[in-house]
Amino acid sequence: MDAFKTQLRGLGRHAQQLAYRSLDQHLRVGITGLSGAGKTAFLTSLVHQLLHAQETHLPMWQALHEGRLLGVQRQHQPDLTLLPFDYEGAIDGLCQSPPSWPPSTRGLSEIRLALRFVPARGLKRQLTDHLTLYLDLVDYPGEWLLDLPMLSQDFAQWSAQQWRMLTSEPWDRHAAPWRARLDAVCDDSVDEIAQGYAALLSQLRSELAATYLQPGRALLPGELAGTPILAFFPLPPERFERSDDPLRDLLAARYDAYCQQVVKPFYRQHFARFDRQVVLLDTLGALDQGHAQIDQMAQSIQAIMQSFHYGPGSLLRRLFRPQIDKLLFVAGKADHITVDQHPNLLALTDSLMGESGRRARFSGGRVETMVLSAICASQQGQIDQGSGVVPVIRGLDPQHQPTTRFPGEVPKRLPSAGFWQQQGFDFATLAPPRLERPQSALPHMRMDHLIEWMLGDKMR
């Protein structure tokens, strides 16, 4: 009897979700970001702006501006298998003295908000005086998103791709010691070489700001840490010319298992269920590092775009085949440059999409780019050095000491390699602003534009 009641409650929850979708009252949004993009700070700010919405602070959010937003509350999350997003912990860190940035998340997490509003027009306005939009925000590592292209590659193709990177500058000099160890690999040292490969990926990310790193679970293994399914690595092209190679066969089997048992379930259970997707990019960080880093970020963006299903979010598709109908690439940390450089940063981020962006728009997908700062840590200013007025930013450095700097000019498109010989950048990390109390307004740049993009059409 207890099992029957449990099953009945499960059917009830499923019917409730279908009912919300039929009334277009449910929205599931994926939030992810490539390394260093500030994803946790972004999600913290987004939740805070919604819970403590003020018209003077979010003027571009139409439902709020028109006085139709009745309130926003947190709700119990629908997926009990996911960790709850630690919103309170992030806000507590910002309220400390000195404040601290929210720590990076290490896996999937979720938070649900209920937004009660008055419909603006149409049949809904005639039938009811208010509606509730249930918003599920799912936070997941960008490294996992970059694994999805592996589903369309076999082990040989993936190895060739990875080997081209590992033998190209600037990654080559860091990868050389690992490649030398690979030459002497034996059956007993396969797992050790795999651990070395995971350490190499971590080094490339932390020291050279590399972004297109696979497998993503090697960087954030979670519950898979130490399991054989992660113990694989690419082989050089010559290893695929042999007719019989036990090592190649072993690694290929582990690669296939990883794709089928790790990547594909993530796609089916989570990624394919998103209605909308926000991808955060640290465009400035890659630009600061050099040509290879910004070029690899372009490759990452284009690989990501191939993993999305495009098309209008019609009612039938929302009910029976949910798919992403709006995709947003966000160049964050806009407070690290002067405001006159924001148009250039937007143009550069848009150019990184290349032909993939044009194909996505042609197929009906709404793909956009945006420049913003989720938690603004600087103020705009000017200084006169005798030769004219120069725009600057003012804030606190990581040691919480005052700093004033001109960060540099941002190119409008992907520059050539020689650009870095002439241009200098100073996109250094800034300390976060301190919240006086948890309900205080968080300073931001264009979060109201993002909220309108995400929710505006669902709250009319």
What does the DSSP assignment read for 188-224?
Answer: GGHHHHHHHHHHHHHHHHHHH-----S-GGGTS-GGG
pLDDT at 312: 52
Higher-pLDDT residue of 110, 362: 110
On average, the pLDDT of the chain sits at 86
d(CA 47, CA 55): 16
CA distance 291 to 208: 11
Contact 339, 310 (CB under 8 A): no
The predicted pLDDT at position 443 comes to: 96
- CATH fold label, 16-140+270-378+435-459: Rossmann fold (3.40.50)
Whether the bond into 215 is cis, omega within 30 of 0: yes
Residues 6+ apart with CB under 8 A from 172: 166
- The confidence score (pLDDT) of residue 393 equals 94
**Per-residue pLDDT band at 123 (split at 50, 70, 90):** low
- Residue 245 contacts by C-beta under 8 Å, 6 or more apart in sequence? 239
Segment 374-400 mean pLDDT: 90
Residue 106, classed as helix, strand or coil, is: coil
Per residue in 141-185, pLDDT tens? 888 888 988 988 999 999 999 999 999 999 999 999 999 988 877
Backbone φ and ψ for 199, nearest 5 degrees, come out as -65, -35
382: helix, strand or coil: strand
| Tally of residues, the chain | 460
Residue written as token pair 């501006």? 65
Q: With CA atoms as reference, report the closest residue to 349 among 335, 367, 374, 366.
A: 367
User: Which residues, 6 or more positions from 167, have their beta carbon under 8 angstroms from its beta carbon?
Assistant: 175, 179
What pLDDT, on a 0 to 100 scale, did the predictor assign at position 309? 54
- CA–CA separation, 317 vs 33, rounded Å? 26
pTM for the complete prediction?
A: 0.88
Examine the pLDDT at 89 and tell me if it is beyond 90: yes
Grade residue 444 by pLDDT with cuts at 50, 70 and 90. Answer: very high
Task: State the span(s) of the chain assigned CATH 3.40.50.300.
Answer: 16-140+270-378+435-459
At residue 5, the pLDDT reads 47
Q: What is the mean pLDDT of the segment spanning 240-266?
A: 92
What's the pLDDT score for residue 8?
45
Helices and strands (H, E) in the chain, number of each type: 17, 11
Q: What is the structure's pLDDT at 363? A: 58
Of 41, 45, 114, nearest in space to 77 by CA: 114
SS (H, E, C) 60-90: CCHHHHCCCEEEEEEECCCCCCCEECCHHHH
Q: For residue 109, which phi and psi values (nearest 5 degrees)?
A: -150, 165
- Amino acid of residue 20: Y
pLDDT digits (tens, 9 = 90+) for 268-323: 888 878 889 999 999 998 888 888 999 999 999 888 877 765 545 444 344 445 57
How far the first Cα of the chain sits from its last, in Å, is 44
> pLDDT: is 421 or 195 the higher one?
195
d(C-alpha 137, C-alpha 54), whole Å: 21
Please name every residue paired with 380 in a beta bridge, in sequence order, or none if there are none.
Answer: 393
Q: Are 283 and 407 in contact (CB under 8 A)?
A: no
Supply the pLDDT for residue 4. Answer: 45
Burial of residue 185, with CB atoms counted within 10 A of its CB: 0-12 exposed, 13-18 middle, 19 or more buried: middle
Using the predicted structure, report yes or no on whether residue 3 has a pLDDT greater than 70.
no
CA 45, CA 39: separation in Å to the nearest integer? 10
Identify whether 170 is preceded by a cis peptide bond (ω within 30 of 0).
yes
Q: What is the mean pLDDT of residues 86-101?
A: 95
